[in-house]
Structure 1
């Protein structure tokens, strides 16, 4: 099997949208609404060149949405299809994010996640991300994290 990370194309939008729904849908009961990644317009994000997919022989197994900010690379979204989880794909995508940040001259990667996604917070911590602050709004409780390269 051939697996590569490549820029998403317009034809990937249905698979990307379905993957995000499958990966994040489990959190709806926990947070009481669809998580932010489920609300994104993936056709627009793909069109802007912000999405990269983990492609295995034509199947989209994972994705990252990366946004270049003035002082860091924002890891806006990372997701792996539930059927492909626990196989190292998430870590491979995180390595890709670090390589992309370094190649672009960034010293920091920033991300945020919902406070209820405790598994993700723990994973990011094991990968070297540190909590920087929390934001609590009526329907939104986020943990912001960063990793210095």
Structure 2
């Protein structure tokens, strides 16, 4: 069993950026440019308290970025270190995101992903997210999805 995610601290920034780079780099060729999470300012997001990490024995294995919005919690990013793929950390991070959204009083959690990230769209659909619409933002073709929390 993995530990619960903890709030990230500035000392985690380099590890967070490495996980994001490793997780999203394979999509650059498919999309034609770096995906949105590779362009985020993690120092700023950590300072806002939006980033959580799974830390196993001093090594960060996964991250999730949660941003409270007016009507829903935005699951802005979830990424797992390549060495931790298949260990359940990703599922743990997604469950944590939903628990956090409920604890903050939200009945809906939302996310978006690039339309070419079909594996992610399929995963999110399997765990209860439904597509609401597609739109282009910041030059990226995104699929928007929501999950209603019980």
Structure 1 segments unaligned to the other structure (5+ residues): none
Q: Is the 8 A contact 1:19 1:80 kept in 2?
A: yes
How well do the aligned residues superpose, as a CA RMSD in angstroms? 1.4
Alignment of 1:66-105 (within 5 A): 66-105=66-105
Q: Is the 8 A contact 1:2 1:57 kept in 2?
A: no
Looking at structure 1, the residues matched to 136 and 35 of structure 2 have their Cα atoms a distance apart, in angstroms, of 15
Residue in structure 1 matched with residue 121 of structure 2 by the alignment = 121
Structure 2 segments unaligned to the other structure (5+ residues): none
2:43 corresponds to 1:40: no
Larger mean Cα displacement after TM superposition, 124-133 or 136-145: 136-145
Looking at structure 1, the residues matched to 93 and 10 of structure 2 have their Cα atoms a distance apart, in angstroms, of 20
Aligned length: 149
Residue in structure 1 matched with residue 146 of structure 2 by the alignment = 146
- State the shift of 1:5 in Å: 0.9
- State the shift of 1:4 in Å: 3.4
Larger mean Cα displacement after TM superposition, 15-24 or 80-89: 80-89
TM-score, structure 2 normalization: 0.95
Structure 1 residues 107 and 83, CA gap change in structure 2 (3 angstroms): same
Looking at structure 2, the residues matched to 3 and 98 of structure 1 have their Cα atoms a distance apart, in angstroms, of 16
TM-score, structure 1 normalization: 0.96
Larger mean Cα displacement after TM superposition, 2-11 or 63-72: 2-11
- State the shift of 1:88 in Å: 1.0
Looking at structure 2, the residues matched to 138 and 3 of structure 1 have their Cα atoms a distance apart, in angstroms, of 35
Q: Deviations over 1:29-64 (max 9, x none)?
A: 000000000000101110111000011111111011
